[in-house]
Structure 1
Amino acid sequence: MAAAESSAALPLRLPRAERGTQDRNARSAGDTATLGMDSDLIAGPTQPRNPISRTRIETVVSRSVAGVGVIFSLQALPIMLAQVPLRLPVMAVAMPLALALGVGAVVIAAVSKVGVRVTTGTVAVVYLAALLGWPFLMLDPSAVLDGKPWLWYLCTVATACAAVSFPLVWAAIYTFLAPIVYGIVRTQPSGGGADVLLASLDAAYATILGQVILIIIFMLRQTAAAVDAAQTNALHQYATAVRQHATEVERVQVDSIVHDSVLATFLAAAAAGSPKAAQLASGMASDALTRLNDAAMVPAGEDSLVPFNALSVRIREAADRLAAPFTVLECEIDTLSLPVHASDALFAASVQAMVNSVQHAGDGIVEPGRTLTMRANAQGGCTIEIADTGVGFDPEQVPSERLGLRLSIQERVASVGGSVQIRSEIGRGTTITLAWPTEGEVAPA
């Protein structure tokens, strides 16, 4: 029978058999890699540390503006104290206090990363209001101020806050508007009575500095947004590649299973020389058609579970279709469920083991004959045992080209985390034990 199986198998579909064998040899490594990549996606892939992400750029910019605001505020403090006697009593304290609270709020927001746009926008608006109200809040508006108003030292802080808080167009308008207002105030007696040229130079300097800050912030944001978009696109492509790889691995596995079933059906049909053998080939053909239909269906997800009792029903029905009877010894396990891929692998391996028993055990079967035992095991999984009292064989002498035992049973069960134990002696029968999960592992809840 080994010679017939070898000679019949290779001419039928030699390219597919060769490719299927190579695919199965790499199945374990491919499944491990796929599961590893899938588990990373499911668990939420941690994005690599990106030094120029949009969030980090916003944090750096806000903290830089906060630091500059503190430094410039300390620089303006002595001049503000010297100009307090020239201001109205209430506003001499209220205006500096409002700006100081605003700068303090910006520092807190930059550190905590909460409310940065609100606080910076508030500082920009308060500063512009202070500029507009400066000439009207002096004790003597006609008296010429000695030096520059202390608000000059906060002009850069205000334009930087506007660049952080406002949209690009409004921030650009602000960087022109605030220096122009300051230039007008600078020409007034309350602003020092500077000539138009000097006031224009101050306004131009403040405008250029504000525009430079705005351009830098805008370019950093654009660069960070481009990097974030590229990273997101790369992760999306990676996830797509993982799904395609998993689909290809699943397709190879399904193709291998269908190929084994069809090949075994062809072999049984070729060797059918009696009504019993013809009945066996007919049952195997029915199983092969079922597998073809299942292969055309959308596969269930890896998280889907199948009750063990449903698997045992499938195995019993397959045993009933075989030409030789099997005595079924079953222990109901209501609480056990298996993943879909493990259930399918155990079912296919069990059917192949029973088919091998019918084909090769011989006719001299004595009691208890052929038995099929399904029960729980110590790992919280299940054990399926197919035994007969037939002619037996020496497992070490099985030719490597025999696909049924090595690929259809052993590798198929091993690919889903199970194990196969084969005990057979010539003249003393054969026992094949399928265990899932393998010894030392625990079945998933």
Structure 2
Amino acid sequence: MVARLEVARQAPAVKQPRNPISRKQVERVISRSVAVIGVVFGVQTIPWLLSQLDEAQPWWLIVTVPSLFGLLIVVVVASFANRWVREAHGTFAVIYFLALVSWPFTVLPGVEVFNGIHWLDYLITVGTAMATIAFRPVLAGIYLFAAPIVYGIVRSLPEGGGATVELAILESFYALILGSAIMIIVTMLRQAASTVDNAQATALGRYGNAVRQHATEVERVQVDSILHDSVLTTLISAARSYTPEAERLSAVMAGNAIGHLKEAASTSPDDRSTVQATELAGRVVTSAEMLDSNFTCSVRSVGARSFPAIAAEAVHSAAVQAMVNSLQHAGGSDVERHVTVRGLEGNGIEVQVIDTGRGFDLDRIPDERFGVRVSIVERVANAGGRTMIRSAPGTGTLVCIQWPLGDEKYGAPSDDDGDGRTS
């Protein structure tokens, strides 16, 4: 039975989710909403204000009215400009509370005070909402109760219209209910947004750890591959060199090892340089000719395509390791060996290393043996490609390396564009 090993790594194609709503976005929406609603309430207050102008001291009206209505405009501008938002809202809340407290002390002596709702009552909910935005929860909660209580007390005084206790409590309680509803909604939105921010920060932290772990794993595979291909294999081959042919192979492997170490030292994971397909094919053919003259090499349909330098290095190193494995384990000079480099559709490339040697059973390869698992399979997979190995005792071995990972079948023929050559 022919054993077959195929490994490929590819990130799943998923639809990118929309960015979640953050705490800053929620604060921006709340502040702008309160600012606009404040202007609407202010406009509704104007008729009641005009009907009660003759009750208060002129200086108080000159100071209070422009301050409150001017601050409503300032709050809108600050909220939409997203600058000094808390300061603007907090200033309005403070000025309104001072106007509420000073109201009974500025009523003209002997004037008949309107016994209905005072014009300041229409802005009490606006003041509470802006205090919720500007102040910490404790201060905002104090303001929520203090403003209606002060209004109820003043409302029951002769200067405030002399309302009955029941009516003053009713108006204060109504203002308290509206203010509480606004504070609860704002608090819930803030908590929900903070929860989303914390979850996003946790997810980003975990993603960062996963990226670092993946980078560490990739680097480990690269180090393992370099050690196996450049050091261990060369040393083992040199120790077993009993013939001139074996000694020549060890010398070639030693030269390749030095080249691999130099390339590893100069290659960066962020390297964005590219390698032409013809250059990569030439490197594979040259390596095969240097390792053994019995390799039959062919290059077909590579065209003018190019590949990332890291991917090209992974394909070349994996192909060289497959050749070395064939020379070391497949048999002597009576074994036929072939290396084929061909272009794939969509700017891809495929390298096949085939021999008619003794073959092996993939299921019986120990995990501690790096030649196939690390130096070939994982190296290509980490670069975004895939590897298929088909072998069985007595039937030879086929190693097929493809980059990038795509839908093209292994060994599928490609149209020759006229640049093929055979050596």
> When the two structures are superposed, what TM-score results if normalisation uses the length of structure 1?
0.58
Q: Tell me the secondary structure at the aligned position of residue 235 of structure 1.
A: helix
1:287 CA displacement: 2.9
Which residue matches 1:154?
Answer: 122
Q: 1:378 aligns with which of 305, 328, 345?
A: 345
1:150-229 paired onto structure 2 within 5 Å: 150-154=118-122, 156-164=124-132, 166=134, 191-192=160-161, 227=195
Confirm whether residue 56 of structure 1 aligns to residue 26 of structure 2. Answer: yes
What does the per-residue CA deviation read over 1:339-369, in whole Å, with 9 as the maximum and x for residues that have no partner? 445323311222123334544453347xxx8
1:234 CA displacement: 1.7
Q: In the superposition, relative to structure 1, how do residues 385 and 44 fare at CA in structure 2: closer, same or farther (>3 Å)?
A: closer
Q: Tell me the secondary structure at the aligned position of residue 393 of structure 1.
A: coil
Hey, what's the Cα distance between the residues in 1 that align with 2:255 and 2:104? 98
Higher helix share: 1
Tell me if structure 1 keeps the 8 A contact 2:252–2:290.
yes
Which residue matches 2:243?
Answer: 274
Confirm whether residue 307 of structure 1 aligns to residue 276 of structure 2. Answer: yes
Hey, what's the Cα distance between the residues in 2 that align with 1:303 and 1:159? 58
Which residue matches 2:212?
Answer: 244
Letter of the 1:154 partner, please give it: Y
Hey, what's the Cα distance between the residues in 2 that align with 1:418 and 1:225? 43
Hey, what's the Cα distance between the residues in 2 that align with 1:312 and 1:322? 15
Q: CA RMSD in A?
A: 6.3
Instruction: Give structure 2 stretches of 5+ with no counterpart.
Output: 410-423
What does the per-residue CA deviation read over 1:155-193, in whole Å, with 9 as the maximum and x for residues that have no partner? 532532441464669x88x95998999799879986548
Confirm whether residue 417 of structure 1 aligns to residue 385 of structure 2. Answer: yes
Which residue matches 2:357?
Answer: 393
Tell me if structure 2 keeps the 8 A contact 1:88–1:137.
yes
1:81 CA displacement: 7.7
Q: Tell me the secondary structure at the aligned position of residue 434 of structure 1.
A: strand
1:269 CA displacement: 2.6
Hey, what's the Cα distance between the residues in 2 that align with 1:26 and 1:108? 63
Which residue matches 1:347?
Answer: 316
Letter of the 1:240 partner, please give it: G
What does the per-residue CA deviation read over 1:398-436, in whole Å, with 9 as the maximum and x for residues that have no partner? 783386885354665466433447699979x97755333
What does the per-residue CA deviation read over 1:56-77, in whole Å, with 9 as the maximum and x for residues that have no partner? 3664687579779978997x78
What does the per-residue CA deviation read over 1:101-152, in whole Å, with 9 as the maximum and x for residues that have no partner? 9879989999x997876885686588579769979998x7631314266134
Which residue matches 2:416?
Answer: none
Hey, what's the Cα distance between the residues in 2 that align with 1:395 and 1:269? 23
Hey, what's the Cα distance between the residues in 1 that align with 2:245 and 2:195? 70
Tell me if structure 1 keeps the 8 A contact 2:352–2:401.
yes
Tell me if structure 2 keeps the 8 A contact 1:393–1:424.
no
Hey, what's the Cα distance between the residues in 2 that align with 1:266 and 1:168? 71
1:256 CA displacement: 3.7
Tell me if structure 1 keeps the 8 A contact 2:343–2:349.
yes
Which residue matches 1:284?
Answer: 253
Hey, what's the Cα distance between the residues in 1 that align with 2:187 and 2:238? 74
Tell me if structure 1 keeps the 8 A contact 2:360–2:392.
no
1:274 CA displacement: 0.8
Greater RCO, 1 or 2 (C-alpha within 8 Å, sep 6+): 2
1:300 CA displacement: 1.3
Q: In the superposition, relative to structure 1, how do residues 286 and 379 fare at CA in structure 2: closer, same or farther (>3 Å)?
A: same
1:153 CA displacement: 1.4
Hey, what's the Cα distance between the residues in 2 that align with 1:217 and 1:432? 65
Q: In the superposition, relative to structure 1, how do residues 99 and 26 fare at CA in structure 2: closer, same or farther (>3 Å)?
A: farther
Which residue matches 1:6?
Answer: none
Tell me if structure 2 keeps the 8 A contact 1:135–1:141.
no
Which residue matches 2:415?
Answer: none
Q: Tell me the secondary structure at the aligned position of residue 374 of structure 1.
A: strand
Instruction: Give structure 1 stretches of 5+ with no counterpart.
Output: 1-24
Hey, what's the Cα distance between the residues in 2 that align with 1:401 and 1:134? 92
Q: In the superposition, relative to structure 1, how do residues 141 and 58 fare at CA in structure 2: closer, same or farther (>3 Å)?
A: farther
Hey, what's the Cα distance between the residues in 2 that align with 1:161 and 1:304? 58
Hey, what's the Cα distance between the residues in 2 that align with 1:180 and 1:424? 91
Tell me if structure 1 keeps the 8 A contact 2:284–2:316.
yes
Which residue matches 1:3?
Answer: none
Q: In the superposition, relative to structure 1, how do residues 281 and 440 fare at CA in structure 2: closer, same or farther (>3 Å)?
A: same
Tell me if structure 1 keeps the 8 A contact 2:7–2:388.
no
Hey, what's the Cα distance between the residues in 1 that align with 2:181 and 2:120? 17
What does the per-residue CA deviation read over 1:373-397, in whole Å, with 9 as the maximum and x for residues that have no partner? 4332234311334467xxx236576
Tell me if structure 1 keeps the 8 A contact 2:87–2:134.
no
1:247 CA displacement: 2.2
Give the percent of matched residue pairs that are identical in Structure 1 and Structure 2.
25
1:78-97 paired onto structure 2 within 5 Å: 83=52
Letter of the 2:344 partner, please give it: N
Tell me if structure 2 keeps the 8 A contact 1:144–1:190.
no
